[in-house]
Structure 1
Amino acid sequence: MRTQLFAGLVCLLLVCTSPVALGVESGPPERASADDDRSIAVQYTIDREPNQTGHVRVTATIERPRHVTGLSVRTPAGTTVHRADGLQSDGDRWRLSGDARTAQLTYTVPVGLSTTFGQRTADTHNWTLLARQEVSLRARWRWHVGPRPTWNESLALAPGQSGVAGRTAAYIGPHETETRTVDGDRITLIVPAASDLRPNRTAVLDSISHAKRASTAGTDHDHIRVFVAPNELAPGGYTPSNGASDVIVNAGERVRTPVNVWVHEYRHTRQTFETTPAMDWLSEGSADYHTAALTYSAGGIDEDQFRDRITTERHETADLTQPDSWDGPGAQYHKGTRVVAAIDARVRQATDGNQTFETILDRLTRRGERMTLRLFAETVSAVAGDDLDAFVRQAVTGTAPSVQTDTLSDRNLRRSGTADTTDRRANAALSVDNSSATATSTDDEGKHGTARPVTDRHGEWTVLGTLGILSVVLVDRQRRRKRL
């Protein structure tokens, strides 16, 4: 009798907590297979438009997994749509038709990305250099059961086009490439015929190779693509997406300088941590500090140049947590460098050189949390083994602290840059999650979102299924007892 009562309660629980009773969209779990891709794959095939300079033609091929029940996309600004297969127009968006698993959208889009420091990409009569975000679609989707699908983008060149397509950047036109293998990984330099590369290729590859071997925090990619921007574009460099493997550097940038842009942009490829607005400065500040340190450790600059860079007084009173209060974008580069240098020196001193700022970045990256000033200060203290909370907060928000340069300019710094990353972690660039069953590739303003955990509805089915099996076993056991 007790067994029957318990089984009845279990069945009642199953009914009351079923997805239908709870109003949860669900369905039977899909069987996993070796070739079951849970991501929404979209490939942008790029073709030049000879008769329309400043634009490229894009064919976006979208592959929708079975468990994605709804998907719509929005084209970039200034787009002209030429053809839609498997998609229906819905205002300013295009929706996948019915049960279509594959769809294509062909459109023409302008190229010419500009940042605070000038124009980074262009389409000319002879060549095209573009960043993926210039041609990419903005997507929204819903899914049925299982883990949240990811939006997986890639670039490709149309047949007959000569160039190189990376993950987040592409070049089309006359060019040469040179590849260096570093501990089994590749660094490819793409040099357009239209560029006048001031440093020689060997110097560029040597500099990045040293940085790759010496860096230990963040993602260590198996293939880095360095797109050399023709000299007519803005000086400096640009990384289309932090943590991704492509960078763009102007052909006129030098190597033997404390602000070695080739190394600076490489450091951005390793940055997979997420920050709050108050900690956004850390991306540039840490990249600039490690650029100076790595160039010094490689012998590219002398000790005086290194010291001058990490003790700069420019923007020294800026509150790095308040970007709106800065008198220019340079605060994150200049004061940011000095703050990171000061913290690195304190940590090295507190640990007899056994821990460095790289350790701090590595821990923050592994935490996988969106970085706040509190979390940053806590991590610094944990690595140093000493309470540096007040020091860190004052350094970031108040006047920049002095830097114990002897700790950093010691020749051991050169020997410390020999460690090679071994445990690679993939960079999962997930999109903003508006609810447990909907997601977008970017928000309506086109800003990149922060990855957040979502409910795994497959897990709900697993728990309910276990209870169901238990009730069947109990009822069957009771029946057998009656027969006996």
Structure 2
Amino acid sequence: MTEDCRSTSAAFIVLLVGLLVLGASVPAAAAAGATDHGQSLVSSASVSTVPVEPSQSTFTSTSRTIKLTQELQLVPDAPGEIAVTLRYSVPTDVVDLKTRVPTRATVTSTDGFVPRDGTEYAWDRQTSAPALTYRMPVNETMDVAGPIAGRGDYTFVDRGDWALVRVPPAATGWSWTGSGTIGLSRETTTAGPGAVGDAMAFLGEHREITRTSNGQTFRLIVPTEASLAESPTRILDSLTAASDTLRIGDRDDHVFVVAAPSRSTRWGVRGLQTGSADMWVRDNERLDTADNVWLHEYVHTRQGYTAATDVRWFTEASATYYAALLTLRQNRIGFQAFRDRLALGTRTPYRNAVLADPTTWDTVAPYTKGALVAGELDRKTRQSSDGTRSLQDVFSRMNSHGSAVTGSSFRELVRQTAGDPTVAQADRYTTTQETPATWDRQTHDRVFGTTPARISYALPGLEDPSGYRVSGPYRRGSVGTERPIRIATGETLTLDVVVSNTGGTAGEYDAQLLVNGQRQSRQHGRLGPSETRTLTFTHRFPTAGEYDLGIEGDRVAVSVRKPAKPTVTTIKAEKTAKTPAKTGEPRYAVVVTATVRNDHSFPAAGTLTLHQNGEPIETRRVELAPDGERTISYNETMARPGEHVYRIDGQTTTVTVDPSPTPTREPETTSTGGDGFEMITVLFAVVSLVLVFARRQ
């Protein structure tokens, strides 16, 4: 949305006249001094604005300048308020200097200024560098319905640790003696981190990215609190492309853009433009939508005309229409999305509005029916001129118009650009309830030029749980609908990417899988008009961490962790049949069974050791899928009789093995042979021993 430039201009004139009166009273001493030098006393007053170059003077012919530095500062203990300090450097020829503070300001200190009437403070004429500090509330709210309305009501806000605010006005009047002219230069700064534009300022930690293109320098301010839905590079690409495409004049040298943090603030609108070329857009706004707020607010910065009541509709209508058309031309949306956006103007109650009569419409009509009418006038202008002219030519003539653009002057500008038939169309759709229809893609290609190939990439959504699959040592199958996707180290994620060409010609696609911004794999090919193809990418995650997987602007978060530890929930031990003894020692069989669960949303893996009476006897590795459960068994076949305690992972069970009676041994028996062979053998051995003994003697 944009603010009412007419009311701002009126307020400026009133304030300027007041300050001229403010500076008209000339002290007697000053007048006498002027008479002595044969000069008449000159007095002047000025309402300053932040110059593009802070050192620039408000008067180009001056060699003497009053320098005003306005410093903005956060007040963390009072969210909703900021502190403002005005510091002046006064040349010696200045004899009078006055300033006014905003009506809601509370002056906290002065140095060289004394209070006068109400909000006015006068210089004491002695202090060479007078200063004044005040505090003021800065929160601004509104209640706006419409396509770019937000969910809250803030338009400017101070959160304590950061603030997005208007630059406060600093009305200054002064008088001087002597020849020449004394002007005023103004610089607005921040105490601490911050960035200042022409009409708005951001106070707090941030980073600034700049881009110069087409004679414009874009300053993109990204607060630390902001979480951008688009990269700064893509935002600046879109803005600079729009800067080149819009040939309507009124290009400002500098464009100040703030990505407004939306996580903790409920903004009343999705974006806002104010001043010459200052704008903020919520950090979560996307570029790939027909309601491209970044471009909508940028178009407002190019509107240099003053609209009369019966042309007010064109301000939001042109911003909405060109935001959609430029986004289409940048291949960020397809033709159907563009057409659907314009088709909102054919719906009730918007179609019943008479655009030239604001009393017949609410705040929404210019964004809906107005955008459709702007598009229809663009199409008619292109048709009538065989593509040599467009609505941009009308827009450009409006910007260079010397006075307010009224309904009659708008019709004349249309006539000069596109002829009487198009003027008739303009009258028909702006002064009556008649509403044009949208046009089809073939007509668009013929009138606006063939829509180029528009390649888009889409990751599977929650409605397609099979679009993400996992495989590895623990499981195989779909990851389900939980986000972020949770997997374990060592697992491989497979994902399907739908690549489509919604343009009017064939085109090349280059699908690159990015993991935390780094390219991991790539597939490329060619698609015909309206053709769609599904590509499959895989990526293995060897280390734990938080990952962002992206294909172009589409992203999905993946949380990778080391496998969880399995949990033993129950344990039991049972005796089985006794093993027959063969060596005289009894043997018993005990089976220990454990139930193991994984209560986590990612796999579990680990080793479980069975302890018997405190001693480890067997170890098993267990792997479980998320929310999985299984039973494992240990077989113990050498249990001594008595009570035995078995333990696995803190769970214990006891089993008692009864001793078995000692088996009875059979009596030994001796048998003798009938032929006396055993006796002969014994006698032979005795005789052999006697002979050996006799020889040693």
The normalised TM-score by structure 1 is 0.69
Q: CA deviation at 1:149?
A: 11
The reply to whether residue 379 of structure 1 matches residue 413 of structure 2 is yes
Please name the residue that 2:190 is paired with. Answer: 157
Q: CA deviation at 1:191?
A: 1.2
Q: CA deviation at 1:96?
A: 4.2
The reply to whether residue 126 of structure 1 matches residue 161 of structure 2 is yes
The reply to whether residue 300 of structure 1 matches residue 332 of structure 2 is yes
After superposition, the C-alpha distances for 1:104-134 in whole angstroms (9 at most, x for unaligned) are: 43211112122334202222232121122xx
Contact 2:216 2:254 in 1 (8 A): yes
- Identical counterparts, % of pairs: 28
Contact 1:154 1:167 in 2 (8 A): no
Letter in 1 for 2:322: H
The reply to whether residue 194 of structure 1 matches residue 259 of structure 2 is no
Moved more, 193-202 or 284-293: 193-202
Q: Which aligned pairs between 1:66-465 and structure 2 lie closer than 5 A? A: 73-85=99-111, 87-94=113-120, 96-97=122-123, 104-117=131-144, 118-132=153-167, 135-137=168-170, 154-158=187-191, 161-183=192-214, 185-231=216-262, 232-233=264-265, 234=267, 235-241=269-275, 244-312=276-344, 313-314=346-347, 315-326=350-361, 328-386=362-420, 388-403=422-437, 405=439, 408=444, 410=446, 412=449
Letter in 2 for 1:125: G
Query: Size of the alignment, in residue pairs?
Result: 383
Tell me the secondary structure at the aligned position of residue 155 of structure 1: strand
Tell me the secondary structure at the aligned position of residue 120 of structure 1: strand
Letter in 1 for 2:324: A
* Residues in 2 aligned to 1:225 and 1:122: alpha-carbon distance in whole angstroms: 17
* Residues in 2 aligned to 1:87 and 1:207: alpha-carbon distance in whole angstroms: 48
* Residues in 2 aligned to 1:150 and 1:336: alpha-carbon distance in whole angstroms: 44
After superposition, the C-alpha distances for 1:52-90 in whole angstroms (9 at most, x for unaligned) are: 222111123467999999876543342101234554433
* Residues in 2 aligned to 1:359 and 1:239: alpha-carbon distance in whole angstroms: 23
After superposition, the C-alpha distances for 1:300-346 in whole angstroms (9 at most, x for unaligned) are: 111111112223224122123333442x3111211221121121111
Alpha carbons of 1:184 and 1:379: their partners in 2 closer, same or farther (altered >3 Å)?
Answer: closer
* Residues in 2 aligned to 1:77 and 1:413: alpha-carbon distance in whole angstroms: 56
Alpha carbons of 1:174 and 1:337: their partners in 2 closer, same or farther (altered >3 Å)?
Answer: same
* Residues in 2 aligned to 1:321 and 1:194: alpha-carbon distance in whole angstroms: 42
Q: CA deviation at 1:153?
A: 6.0
* Residues in 2 aligned to 1:152 and 1:112: alpha-carbon distance in whole angstroms: 28
After superposition, the C-alpha distances for 1:125-177 in whole angstroms (9 at most, x for unaligned) are: 32121122xx2245678999x9x99997653212xx11211222211222222
Tell me the secondary structure at the aligned position of residue 186 of structure 1: strand
Tell me the secondary structure at the aligned position of residue 366 of structure 2: helix
Tell me the secondary structure at the aligned position of residue 351 of structure 2: coil
Please name the residue that 1:458 is paired with. Answer: none
Contact 1:155 1:170 in 2 (8 A): no
* Residues in 1 aligned to 2:318 and 2:354: alpha-carbon distance in whole angstroms: 16
After superposition, the C-alpha distances for 1:9-65 in whole angstroms (9 at most, x for unaligned) are: xxxxxxxxxxxxxxxx995999x9965179987543111113222211112346799
Please name the residue that 2:149 is paired with. Answer: none
After superposition, the C-alpha distances for 1:343-392 in whole angstroms (9 at most, x for unaligned) are: 11111111111111111111111123111111111101111133544432
* Residues in 1 aligned to 2:415 and 2:41: alpha-carbon distance in whole angstroms: 49
The unaligned stretches of length 5 or more in structure 1 are: 1-24, 416-484
Alpha carbons of 1:73 and 1:237: their partners in 2 closer, same or farther (altered >3 Å)?
Answer: same
Q: CA deviation at 1:204?
A: 1.6
* Residues in 2 aligned to 1:219 and 1:371: alpha-carbon distance in whole angstroms: 16
The unaligned stretches of length 5 or more in structure 2 are: 1-25, 27-38, 44-56, 145-152, 453-697
Please name the residue that 2:669 is paired with. Answer: none
Letter in 1 for 2:338: F
Tell me the secondary structure at the aligned position of residue 220 of structure 2: strand
Q: CA deviation at 1:201?
A: 2.4
Q: CA deviation at 1:228?
A: 0.6
Contact 1:318 1:397 in 2 (8 A): no
Alpha carbons of 1:57 and 1:183: their partners in 2 closer, same or farther (altered >3 Å)?
Answer: same
Contact 1:44 1:136 in 2 (8 A): no
Alpha carbons of 1:321 and 1:98: their partners in 2 closer, same or farther (altered >3 Å)?
Answer: farther
Q: CA deviation at 1:249?
A: 0.5
Alpha carbons of 1:401 and 1:77: their partners in 2 closer, same or farther (altered >3 Å)?
Answer: same
RMSD of equivalent CA atoms: 3.8
After superposition, the C-alpha distances for 1:185-204 in whole angstroms (9 at most, x for unaligned) are: 43232111212211222322
Tell me the secondary structure at the aligned position of residue 405 of structure 1: coil
Letter in 2 for 1:155: T
Higher Cα Rg, which structure: 2
The normalised TM-score by structure 2 is 0.49
Q: CA deviation at 1:225?
A: 2.3
Contact 2:42 2:175 in 1 (8 A): no
Contact 2:258 2:281 in 1 (8 A): yes
* Residues in 2 aligned to 1:150 and 1:74: alpha-carbon distance in whole angstroms: 18
Letter in 2 for 1:284: E
Contact 1:44 1:61 in 2 (8 A): yes
Q: Which has the higher contact order (CA 8 A, sep 6+)?
A: 1
Letter in 2 for 1:179: T
